[in-house]
């Protein structure tokens, strides 16, 4: 049996998963970042992308996550993100609409803050569509 650590994957509106974990791959500014038991302590910035984790029963789970942070301390990992969705929870039509709305908002002459918000919304929509299309085929 592989060594385990505790993980808490929390979105703004719910806990996606809390419990033992064998491995975790989280999207950071520097790229995909892997975590195993007894990892050194650290804090990192999570970017929109695919989060993957394996539970002790051997099940690999995937989620589309938005921006947030990860904290690793004493074999306990906390992932805080604005949103986290499993592929089967993603509404593809809603994600496509959000992508189109974000693209339209980027094209309009607006304030810097509105432009940055539209870019973040576009990144989230594209990530959701990518995770949905890659991990729900044949399910």
CATH code of the domain in which 128 resides: 1.20.5
Given 47, 70, 85, which residue is the final one in a domain?
Answer: 85
In this structure, the answer to whether residues 54 and 78 fall within a common structural domain is yes
In this structure, the answer to whether residues 16 and 51 fall within a common structural domain is yes
This prediction's pTM? 0.84
In this structure, the answer to whether residues 67 and 93 fall within a common structural domain is no
**Structure confidence at residue 136 (pLDDT):** 63
In this structure, the answer to whether residues 15 and 75 fall within a common structural domain is yes
In this structure, the answer to whether residues 24 and 81 fall within a common structural domain is yes
Q: Which domain holds residue 39?
A: 5-85
In this structure, the answer to whether residues 23 and 78 fall within a common structural domain is yes
In this structure, the answer to whether residues 77 and 27 fall within a common structural domain is yes
In this structure, the answer to whether residues 52 and 16 fall within a common structural domain is yes
The secondary structure of the chain, three-state, reads: CCCCEEEEEEECCCEEEEEEECEEEEEECCEEEEEECCCCCEEEEECCEEEEEECCCCCEEEEEECCEEEEEECCEEEEEECCEECHHHCCHHHHHHHHHHHHHHHHCCCCHHHHHHHHHHHHHHHHHHHHHHHHCCCC
In this structure, the answer to whether residues 14 and 68 fall within a common structural domain is yes
In this structure, the answer to whether residues 77 and 12 fall within a common structural domain is yes
pLDDT string in tens for the chain (139-residue length): 679 999 999 999 999 999 999 999 999 999 999 999 999 999 999 999 999 999 999 999 999 999 999 999 999 999 999 999 999 999 999 999 999 999 998 888 678 888 888 888 899 899 999 898 887 654 4
């Amino acid at each position: 049996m592989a060594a385990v650590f505790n993980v808490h994957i929390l979105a703004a509106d719910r806990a996606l998963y809390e419990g033992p974990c064998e491995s975790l791959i989280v999207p950071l500014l520097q790229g995909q970042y892997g975590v195993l038991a007894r990892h050194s302590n650290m804090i990192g910035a999570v970017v929109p992308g695919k989060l993957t984790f394996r539970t002790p029963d051997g099940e690999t789970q995937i989620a589309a996550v938005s921006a947030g942070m990860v904290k690793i301390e004493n074999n306990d990992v906390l992932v805080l993100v604005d949103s986290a969705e499993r592929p089967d929870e993603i509404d593809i039509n809603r994600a496509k609409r959000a992508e189109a709305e974000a693209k339209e908002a980027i094209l309009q002459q607006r304030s810097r803050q509105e432009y940055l918000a539209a870019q973040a919304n576009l990144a989230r929509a594209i990530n959701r569509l990518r995770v949905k299309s890659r991990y729900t085929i044949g399910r």
